[in-house]
Amino acid sequence: MYSEIVMKALRKAACAALIALLALPSFAQNFPVRPIRLIVPVPPAGGADNVVRIVLPKVAESLGQQIIIDNRAGGNATIGAGIAAKAPADGYTWLLLTSQHMMTPNIMKSLSYDVVKDFSAVSLLVQAPQLLMIHPSVPAKSVRELIALAKKSPNKFNYGSSGLGSAAHISAEVLQTMGGISMTHIPYKGTGQAYVDLISGQLDLMFPSVPSGVQYHRLGRLRALGVTSTRRHPAVPDMPTISEAGLPGYDVQSWYGIVAPAGTPGEIIVRINAAFTGALNAPDTRAALIREGSDPAPGTAEEFAKFIKDDFAFKAKVARAAGMKAE
């Protein structure tokens, strides 16, 4: 009798597990059934915010649901990330993850989340290089000449950035490490005043975004020496990369991607990834992103997961080389 009761219980449990298993694909096929929230951890109207507003209309059309942008700026983009990490893993909350998040653990202590373990990768959106720009008073016409001058006079040149661990800061630190030079870092609270000081000659060089920097180069007010990516950017195809202009293998770019809370069902991630892939491959979306200075970079969720781990390790290496410490 006892064995019969046990067998009946086991059969019921097996049936329940089978039903649950069969329900998963159906759940994914029906997803989404309500609006989705995308947490953007920066203020509206910035570069990251502009990228998602270009891409999302086609993603929403593909999924058949509204996508609500929830700007949660502050804490060096950690406030929004912390909220997303604690959200239900049901596919209805996404986070715009940025390259800045890879550096944050190196400069801030006691984060409420683990940027690698607490999120499931969904899709890389874009990569965005910077321009190496110098004031015309610096007597260098190429990356090689700049490096040669800096080697002769250590710490003579200063460079501006929008803050510790920013994209411009990282670009300059990698330039110093690979070029065997040393320069003085002057951090700002934003790029506005840094531009003013660069144009006036108070700064020697800076690494702005392609769209903002190229206009000053074309006007002759500043001189661009190279793009920080390994490929020339379609917005400035005549501009050499730093890699081909003097430092082979140099590659530093900002990037934006979509993640969800860890544990989000794989079938749902595949569904969302497909929607982003379709949007990023659309000719009008690609053209709009390139005008923003971004290079569309669709791929699988697995590829993005590896990308995150690799970039996290790279940023940790840069932080150690630069002597950055969490505060």
pLDDT attached to residue 325: 76
N- to C-terminal Cα separation, the chain: 66
202 φ, ψ (degrees, to nearest 5): -70, -30
Strand (E) or helix (H) holding 16: helix 2-30
pLDDT attached to residue 110: 86
pLDDT attached to residue 158: 97
pLDDT attached to residue 37: 98
When pLDDT is cut at 50, 70 and 90, the band that residue 21 belongs to is very low
Residue 129: CB atoms within 10 A of its CB come to: 31
Rounded to two decimals, the pTM is: 0.86
Task: Output the CA–CA distances (angstroms, integers) from residue 244 to 83, 147, 226, 229, 251, in the order listed.
Answer: 42, 14, 9, 10, 11
When pLDDT is cut at 50, 70 and 90, the band that residue 163 belongs to is confident
Average pLDDT on 194-211 reads: 94
Q: At the top level of CATH, which class does the domain 131-227 belong to?
A: alpha beta
When pLDDT is cut at 50, 70 and 90, the band that residue 13 belongs to is very low
When pLDDT is cut at 50, 70 and 90, the band that residue 10 belongs to is very low
Q: Where are the beta strands (DSSP E) in the chain?
A: 36-40, 67-71, 93-98, 119-129, 131-134, 158-161, 184-187, 205-206, 223-227, 253-261, 295-296
Would the pLDDT of 18 be above 70?
no
| Separation CA 276–CA 299 (nearest Å) | 9
| Separation CA 229–CA 297 (nearest Å) | 13
Residue with the larger pLDDT of the pair 321 and 121: 121
| Separation CA 96–CA 75 (nearest Å) | 15
Average pLDDT on 142-149 reads: 96
pLDDT tens-place string over residues 105-119 = 988 888 999 999 999
Average pLDDT on 53-82 reads: 95
pLDDT attached to residue 212: 87
Q: Say if residues 149 and 138 touch (Cβ distance below 8 Å).
A: yes
Q: At the top level of CATH, which class does the domain 32-128+253-322 belong to?
A: alpha beta
Q: By percentage, how much of the chain surpasses pLDDT 70? A: 91
pLDDT tens-place string over residues 262-278 = 999 999 999 999 999 99
Handedness of CA 101, 107, 112, 115 (dihedral sign): positive
248 φ, ψ (degrees, to nearest 5): -55, 130
Residue with the larger pLDDT of the pair 55 and 246: 55
Contacts for 303 with CB less than 8 Å, ≥ 6 apart:
124
Would the pLDDT of 7 be above 50?
no
pLDDT tens-place string over residues 298-319 = 999 999 999 999 999 999 999 9
Domain ranges of the chain: 32-128+253-322, 131-227
Would the pLDDT of 192 be above 80?
yes
* Domains 32-128+253-322 and 131-227 fall in the same CATH topology: yes
